[in-house]
């Protein structure tokens, strides 16, 4: 799978979260990662509005965008310990010694100054928004997602558009538990994930659900987006439950395919099949 140039950072328009009065800017980093800038949409009285950064692993590129937007970094949120998500934390701690660098209490995350666990709420952007912490162990044992109520979830490498992260430090049961958490969140919530893996995920999904028309249409749209070097992120949770096979392990189509009515077993077999795809 060849990714595109991942180069049009300056042209990407913000995704608006109107209930929270927030804007989210996607910053493509490395080959296929995304970092995110969260900032109030309505400019505050301060000359440089605050910006919370999610997975700021390539600080130079992210900070260029922060500067271009005229913002001031207020905190860094880290989803998990892998270098392509947490690798910029030490630089950020040195460059911004007064800001909190937030990450999981359940694993060693480089540069973290404020450790969080499931159920914690963190105030970001100078108190403009409260973000809920959801533990999602599996990809790594201490992976966390960040949820802005009724608006957005930053899923890191737990979930992608059309897929989920490899089970490096967890089990099918844990990933299925993570899916159950998503069922408790409104379907219109936007999901901002850690990588641009969508096309490959959809190619795989069509091998297990070849007759899923929603999936077929979404793949066509995604290929058009990528042909223009545009992101396929965010999706919504409602969309994910309609085409992401890892969200659909309790659906008859998937259970018939894998000859079991146990969604955890479907999850296990599905992940094994994807790992060898």
C-alpha–C-alpha distance, residues 215 and 205, integer Å = 8
Helix orientation angle between 263-275 and 172-183, rounded to the nearest 10 degrees: 110
In the chain, count of helices (H) and strands (E)? Answer: 9, 15
Model pLDDT for residues 67-112, shown as the tens digit of each residue:
999 999 999 999 999 999 999 999 999 999 999 999 999 999 999 9
Q: What does the CA dihedral 114, 141, 151, 206 come to, rounded to 10 degrees? A: 150
- Is-contact 56 86, C-beta < 8 A? no
Strand partners, 76: 53, 101
The predicted pLDDT at position 11 comes to: 58
- Is-contact 114 125, C-beta < 8 A? no
The predicted pLDDT at position 2 comes to: 39
Q: At a CB cut-off of 8 Å and minimum separation 6, what does 85 contact?
A: 33, 55, 57, 78, 79, 156, 157, 194
CB atoms within 10 A of CB 60: 9
C-alpha–C-alpha distance, residues 240 and 236, integer Å = 6
Q: Tell me which residues are annotated as active site.
A: 80, 82, 84-85, 139, 157, 195
Model pLDDT for residues 150-165, shown as the tens digit of each residue:
999 999 999 999 999 9
């Amino acid at each position: 799978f060849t990714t595109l140039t991942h180069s049009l950072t300056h042209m990407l328009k913000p995704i608006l979260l109107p209930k929270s009065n927030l804007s989210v800017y996607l910053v493509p980093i490395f080959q296929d990662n995304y970092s995110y800038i969260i900032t109030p949409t309505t400019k505050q009285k301060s000359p440089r509005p605050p910006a919370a950064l999610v997975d700021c692993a390539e600080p130079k590129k992210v900070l260029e965008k922060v500067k271009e937007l005229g913002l001031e970094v207020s905190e860094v949120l880290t989803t998990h310990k892998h270098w392509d998500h947490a690798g910029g934390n030490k630089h950020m701690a040195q460059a911004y010694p007064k800001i909190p660098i937030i990450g999981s209490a359940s694993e060693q995350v480089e540069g973290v100054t404020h450790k969080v666990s499931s159920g914690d709420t963190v105030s970001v952007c100078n108190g403009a928004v409260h973000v809920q912490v959801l533990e999602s162990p599996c990809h790594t044992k201490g992976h966390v997602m960040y949820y802005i109520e009724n608006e957005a979830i930053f899923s890191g490498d737990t979930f992608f558009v059309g897929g989920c992260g490899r089970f490096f430090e967890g089990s099918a049961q844990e990933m299925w538990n993570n899916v159950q958490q998503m069922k408790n969140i409104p379907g219109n919530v936007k999901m901002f994930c850690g990588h641009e893996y969508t096309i490959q995920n959809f190619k795989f999904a069509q091998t297990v659900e070849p007759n899923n028309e929603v999936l077929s249409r979404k793949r066509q749209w995604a290929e058009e987006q990528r042909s223009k070097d545009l992101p396929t992120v965010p999706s919504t949770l409602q969309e994910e439950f309609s085409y992401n096979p890892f969200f659909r392990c309790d659906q008859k189509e998937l259970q018939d395919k894998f000859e079991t009515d146990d969604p955890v077993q479907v999850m296990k077999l599905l992940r094994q099949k994807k790992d060898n795809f």
